[in-house]
């Protein structure tokens, strides 16, 4: 699985790029691409089918946060931010612009590999669904087609970044069950100890922005105070 995954590292610090490239290759990822500016990354994405992007926030030609929406126009690849910024606002900005996860500098490069492998495990399980076992989760207002990997709302396909899709798929498979943030981190991200539970909160909000009539007053993806979240059949006609 690893050797067939194309990974793009975007960072202007060559020492960090070289360290990550060396570590990824030792971990079995042989198809590693490198970019030192945001525009260089855009150019590569236009030519290569990249599945994972490691994106630094501070780039010489702009912020990684600014480039992320442009990247999302080209690909649904898993985007992992590298950031020295650790405030909640910075983290929320990263997710809001289309990122899937983040690590803060200084970081352990093995943590980066662990996050990528966890993502690939979850993605592989989703892609392994056969036509005979395909599932279509119909909640009235929205439908998630697991076999096609498509979310449609009121009959219109809605773009859905990978981690948002995987979280929604997991909830669709377990309707009316309450999950804590820790439960969802373990089940959807594949690890508990590396991630901030705020990651779940942001992705819950991103789902609501897609499936709810009013994300501030959800009818499908509900918060159960003190316990977590659950996905239910809404009352939207």
Q: pLDDT (tens digit, 9 = 90+) per residue, 121-154?
A: 877 765 554 445 558 899 999 999 988 889 999 9
pLDDT digits (tens, 9 = 90+) for 179-226: 998 888 888 877 654 556 778 888 899 899 999 999 999 999 999 998
Residue 75 near residue 47 (C-beta atoms within 8 A): no
Structure tokens at 193: 């100890």
Query: Could you give the 3-state DSSP secondary structure of residue 21?
Result: helix
Tell me the CA distances in angstroms from 39 to 11, 42, 66, 75, 96, one per residue in order: 12, 5, 11, 15, 20
pLDDT digits (tens, 9 = 90+) for 5-41: 999 999 999 999 999 999 999 998 989 999 999 999 9
Burial class (CB in 10 A: 0-12, 13-18, 19+), 112: buried
Cβ atoms within 10 A of the Cβ of 13, count? 13
Nearest to 161 by CA among 214, 112, 94: 94
Q: Please state, for a pLDDT cut of 70, what percent of the chain lies above it.
A: 86
């Amino acid at each position: 699985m690893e050797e067939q995954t194309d990974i793009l590292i975007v960072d202007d610090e060559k020492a960090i790029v070289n360290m990550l490239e060396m570590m990824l290759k030792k971990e079995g990822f042989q198809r590693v691409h490198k970019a030192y500016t945001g525009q260089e990354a855009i150019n590569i994405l236009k030519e290569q089918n990249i599945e994972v992007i490691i994106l630094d926030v501070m780039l010489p030609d702009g912020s990684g946060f600014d480039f992320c929406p442009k990247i999302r126009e080209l690909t649904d690849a898993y985007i992992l931010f590298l950031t020295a910024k650790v405030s909640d606002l910075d983290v929320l900005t990263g997710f809001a612009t289309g990122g899937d996860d983040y690590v803060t500098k200084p970081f352990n490069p093995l943590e980066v590999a662990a996050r990528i492998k966890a993502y690939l495990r979850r993605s592989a399980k989703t892609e392994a669904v056969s036509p005979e076992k395909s599932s279509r989760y119909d909640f009235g207002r929205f439908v998630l087609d697991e076999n096609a990997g498509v979310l449609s709302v009121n009959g219109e396909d809605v773009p859905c970044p990978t981690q948002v899709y995987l979280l929604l798929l997991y909830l669709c498979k377990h309707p009316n069950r309450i999950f804590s943030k820790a439960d969802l981190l373990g089940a959807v991200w594949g690890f508990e100890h590396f991630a901030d539970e705020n990651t779940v909160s942001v992705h819950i909000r991103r789902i609501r922005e897609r499936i709810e009539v009013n994300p501030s007053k959800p009818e499908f993806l509900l918060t159960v105070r003190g316990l977590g979240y659950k996905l239910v059949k809404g009352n939207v006609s």
